[in-house]
Amino acid sequence: VRGLESPGMTFLRLNTLVIALCTFLVLGCAHGPPPEERTDDGLIPVPSRAAAGVYRHPDIEFTRYRRVSIEPLSIEFASGWRRQNPEVTEGGLKRMEAEARELLREELVEVLVVDGPYELAQTRDADVLHVVPRVIDLDIPAPEPSVQPGVKTYSPQPVRMQIIGELRDAATNTLVLRVIMYEGQERRSFHELRPANRVTNLHEMRTGFNRWARLVREALDVAKVQRPKE
């Protein structure tokens, strides 16, 4: 009957399919796993919280580090922020930057030294991690609110910023860890306005710096228990 294959033909077709599948698998194995994703400066991404990005050097033994040194925070305000806040004087700007630097250092020392296993160092020895923090896109709502008696300022958004920290081997300046966090991305509706003044702004910056410092501590704790790649 036309249209029907003999058992021999069916076996041949199945045999050909099996051979083709095996060939495909062998070729795939020959190529090996896909190359490991790395940043331009040689770091690999590691699992982290959704609000952060953590990148680590794959060949570094982190148990060697027992002390930390902290570079003063560098700050870049969000594009257009100065234009939108013409009331901020140069003196006021320097004050805000100095306060932010002090807050970040305090939180890092609290998390890594007071509560953590590290000592504070002033030298660039082999057991020292040098922390280089940056804040970009800093957006402080109502940085200079009204000082009229009885007048309060409100804002639908908190302080927003991106916090980036590079941790380097102090002796060699090798980049070993990078932790990035976005803070203050949530936005309230206009019927949920928050007070906006120097006190609330500083509180929100401190809260963000504390979260970031804890992410750095968590990333270091994880790195210590994972063996570097051969």
- Banded pLDDT at 24 (limits 50, 70, 90): very low
| pLDDT confidence of residue 215 | 95
pLDDT confidence of residue 195: 74
CB-based contact 127:97 (threshold 8 Å): no
pTM for the full predicted model: 0.78
Whats the size of the chain, residue-wise? 230
Identity of residue 18: V
Higher pLDDT, 110 or 225: 110
Q: Which of 1-15, 43-57, 59-73 has the lowest mean pLDDT?
A: 1-15
Beta bridge partners of 46: 54
Q: Determine the pLDDT at residue 199.
A: 85
CB environment 60-83: b (16+ within 10 A), e (fewer): bebeebebbbbeebebebeeebee
Q: Cα 116 from chain centroid?
A: 19
pLDDT in tens, 171-216: 999 999 999 999 986 655 555 677 778 888 899 999 999 999 999 9
116-166 residue pLDDT tens: 999 999 999 999 999 999 999 999 987 765 445 555 676 657 899 999 999
Pairing assessment for the beta strands 128-139 and 160-169 based on DSSP bridges: antiparallel
> What rounded mean pLDDT belongs to the chain?
82
* pLDDT tens digits, 58-109: 999 999 999 999 999 999 999 999 999 888 999 999 999 999 999 999 999 9
DSSP-derived secondary structure letter, 2: T
Q: What angle do CA 175, 135, 72 make, to 5 degrees?
A: 70
110 has a pLDDT exceeding 90: yes
3-state secondary structure 151-204: CCCEECCCCEEEEEEEEEECCCCCEEEEEEEEECCCCCCHHHCEECCHHHHHHH
